[in-house]
A and B are shown apart, each in its own frame.
Chain A
């Protein structure tokens, strides 16, 4: 069908370059039975979460993707994740999450962090890249930030020593540092990436970040074809805003990863468009890459102008993870086309459309 519609479409849309419409001959060879529908746990979450997950559901429906969602309703202010949700994720192995808003200083630990620890999703990945047609101050950005997700500053071990003096423990272990370094280098190898940068503050936190760096160096020696360098986190943030093209894959402990990922997402176009996910040995949760500022934003909820692009691109990553690469390609192409055209863009990208309009545009642009 695509071969017949291809020249027809080209006539209809004169400005579109041929590189954007991909016509594939069969390169993926599935096993018989791979087309059986897969169950995916869906957690809409708080705030804009339901809006954006709704968008994904609509698009999946339109594509007739062999995926069906098991929806669970949890909110950020719950004390813990209900066991049936954990069971479902353990069964399905893949989950798509909108966003859970953690109340600030409220005595409730973040459910996002709890989920990650419970399922041992130790790597968080955010892919920040320039999208064609989206004007940003920086171009040539193509950074993948791989962040250790379980320990570091987010151990949650705090106590009040005496009134007015509080201590918080940052824990770094060789085990966790090694596995995140392994994941980072393996990712770089599998995705043809040339350089891995370790981000740290070992000049001040000599033992903690020193241990992290040691693990990275050990693993780096096993991948001689991949360039490895180290950069202190404050210098790194400075370089990110002035010369982001020097970065390729970045591996960081927990807190720095959060900052670096959000900064990289900001320079490449905003957190509304960057895909990402959390992955562990057995499970994966896909969500908006860098989720700063979006989940609890009431205005976006009321006006229904949340940007669904990030979650749509993350669901494309999810489709590839589930081994439905052709559907993933179609989805990604459609989204990129919508962004490039520029007609339907939500507020954070400088447009005025609602989430629904963007979703409809994506569906219309599906091959």
Chain B
């Protein structure tokens, strides 16, 4: 009888841990104890289009010099629509991410045309990537108008205004449906607080417009409050989105972790990227059910400088760093991170978009030298 109770408690605690959205910790330890002969972690790499392959090479080089125990499985976007996934991404690619549970994605240009889903949308739906995490901090040495930015935006990625449910009621009148569910809001709130705790952050701010959209954003806030009670050591605040926008441009240092629904998240995370210097320097990580993490570079594929060795690999490198953090390889992550910051701070090797004249390879070599 006592053993039954113990077993029940053990089961419930394990499931509670899994529902926190970070079973990767559990999985890692299990897989490490099971597969002790190979310590290499397999990760899927999508180089992407345009400047993608060049910057992916950068990442591979830096990781090799830093001796990061990762084995890359490269997948490319196909030229034809795969009927199993309804898009240019093949089933094998998706299976690979599901198996490895980590991935790094370069910029993908969605080809314009009909008959297939956008690549990003396919990834998001198939892998159930529910949270988009973007750490934004001012890069020392790269001066923008804002020097003291250090915040993280966590955006709900599956529902909200981007459900895609629109219809024309009568001619000239269109309705678009915004959906907020308890499940999705709870999930992203849980991840936000878990992230805050894991990274030693002190405050989580929920951004909303519940004074106007009372039921939808009200539900989102309710879920955030529920989760906040479980983390009494983290300060929880709520901020209306227009106040938040204004405060962000006046003094971004007042924010720490921001959690928000889809649309606001989109706007605020891009605003924060603008504060620190643009999308070319911003890392991003998508978290999915079952502990999947797909880090990605959110800038475009820049076809005009593709193949010319001029691209800036910083965004993909920093995304790789956040991927390493997710894998709990904190030492390696910090090492690479410091090397990147030092290189940019020195100012000797900078690519075109940062105002310098170096090539991608020069920049990468400089980072490797700093390791």
- What residues make up the interface of A, taking CB atoms closer than 8 Å to B? 102-107, 109-110, 113, 137-138, 153-154, 156, 158-160, 163-175, 201, 204-208, 210-211, 233-235, 237-242, 255-256, 258-259, 261-263, 265-267, 270-271, 290, 292-293
Complex Cα gap A256–B279 (Å) = 21
B76 within 8 A of A: no
Q: Is the CB of A167 within 8 A of B270?
A: no
Chain A residues with CB under 8 A of B211: 102-105, 110
Complex Cα gap A86–B47 (Å) = 61
Q: Is the CB of A168 within 8 A of B216?
A: yes
18 extra interchain contacts, Cβ-Cβ under 8 A, other than A105-B214, A165-B181? A109-B214, A159-B215, A164-B181, A164-B182, A164-B219, A166-B179, A201-B266, A205-B161, A234-B271, A237-B267, A238-B273, A240-B249, A241-B274, A242-B278, A259-B242, A262-B246, A263-B248, A270-B250
Q: Is the CB of B271 within 8 A of A241?
A: yes
Partner of B177, one of A168, A237, A241: A168
Complex Cα gap A106–B161 (Å) = 22
Chain B residues with CB under 8 A of A164: 181-183, 219
Complex Cα gap A177–B340 (Å) = 47
B146 within 8 A of A: yes
Chain A residues with CB under 8 A of B164: 204
The verdict on A172 contacting B176 (CB below 8 Å), with A160-B215, A290-B246 known, is yes
Q: Is the CB of A258 within 8 A of B172?
A: no
Complex Cα gap A207–B270 (Å) = 23
Q: Is the CB of A170 within 8 A of B267?
A: no
The verdict on A173 contacting B271 (CB below 8 Å), with A104-B211, A234-B266 known, is no
Interface centre among A110, A159, A208, A239 (most CB of B within 10 A): A208
Chain A residues with CB under 8 A of B180: 165-166, 168
Complex Cα gap A234–B221 (Å) = 23
Q: Is the CB of A265 within 8 A of B266?
A: no
1/0 per residue, CB under 8 A from A, across B231-247: the answer is 00000001011110111
Complex Cα gap A166–B268 (Å) = 23
Q: Who on chain A is nearest to B179 by CB? A: A167
Complex Cα gap A167–B180 (Å) = 6
Interface centre among A113, A138, A169 (most CB of B within 10 A): A169
Chain B residues with CB under 8 A of A104: 210-211, 238, 240
